[in-house]
Amino acid sequence: MADEAPAGRALQLARAFAAMTAIGAVTSPPVANVGALLMLVAFAFVPDVGARLGRVLREPLGIGWLALVAALLVAVLVGSVLNSPQAALRGLLDWRHFLLLPVALAAFDTTASRLRFALVLVALALVGAVAVLVAMQVGYSRNEMFPGIVLRNPVTQALTFSIGALLAGLLAATQTQWRRGARLLLALAALALVAQLVFLQSGRSGAVGLAVAIVIALLLTLRGRARIVALVAAPLVGLAIYSAAPNMQQRFGLAVSEMRNAASLPSYSSMGIRVIIWQTSAELIEARPMLGYGLGGFAPAYERQIKLHHTEGWKALPTSDPHNQFLSLWAEAGLLGLAAFNAFLIGALRQPGDPPYRAAGVALLAAWCVNSLFSSHFQVFNEGHLIVLLLGVFLARTPAPGALAP
């Protein structure tokens, strides 16, 4: 690529280990942990590591990241006082993947490195999609409740396919300098992954995330009449796809029914328990809105609170996750943590990345935010590692010529 001179070995290794971490996040946590550690170690040997980190921490996303880190450290202190230092530190470890964000921002400062990372994700999604077809034929699944699960779980698998579909479609639409055959292959890959999401996948997060991401990507990449036409057509196409997909109708219909009837459900359900958890979490937040219960403090506080309403049955089950990222931060880090998280999100939106990768980063951030109304997608292992790397890579900015040696 014209914008990338031969990078130093340490920088190349850091980028390769970032890809390894992303692959491990959707296949094997030990692989992700090793990849993340090696990524950090390799980046530490980049000759201009200090200059690179100094640059990205002065950018909008870097400033937002610093605000979030500061709020989490305050929440550690609160948790240490209200609960125990050990519990607070364990809570902080749940956010350890955020250490990768400034490293990714600093390492992926060329168009070529971002493109390679995007193509790795597209290839990973395609391999997974083929593996799903084989698994369904032979009756294999990593999850006994759902057929054809070959990645970590139904949610992670569906999200992986949505990421691959978005990136393949975005590259096919924007890389007009490429050969027509290459763009056609990417377009076909995007369609194949969408078909997987619509007709075969059980994870609702993937379909929701892709729908949100497509709308945001259209807003950011199109102009004038083309944008208007696309935004009018997108919901119509989405409605047509939903009408033709019994699997999707069943999964979303079940979710709505469980949420509406949570109070009267006779047994545990994934959405019914969420309603109970959200109601109880709101009570906890009302009691301590400013500083919350500290990192690691949600689980014991929830266990005490739920016993005031339910003493047995599925509604009395304890939990350490409110299944809503915003409630989670508010409960454990208070309004300070929620404000810092919003500053982080605003910093990501203001980050001056390069097209079309900025569109991909912002679109995937929006998808994560919507899905995080129902799960803690910035914090749990699989989705947390993914979004940190996606933001770091695709919102990375190419410095002005001569600003940094590649």
Q: What is the pLDDT of residues 270-329, one digit of tens each?
A: 899 999 999 999 999 999 999 999 999 999 999 999 999 988 899 999 999 999 999 999
What does the pLDDT look like over 197-242, one tens digit per residue? 999 888 889 999 999 999 999 999 999 898 899 889 988 988 888 8
Q: How far apart are CA 90 and CA 36, in angstroms?
A: 18
Q: What is the pLDDT of residue 2?
A: 40
What does the pLDDT look like over 14-52, one tens digit per residue? 999 999 999 999 999 999 999 999 999 999 999 999 999
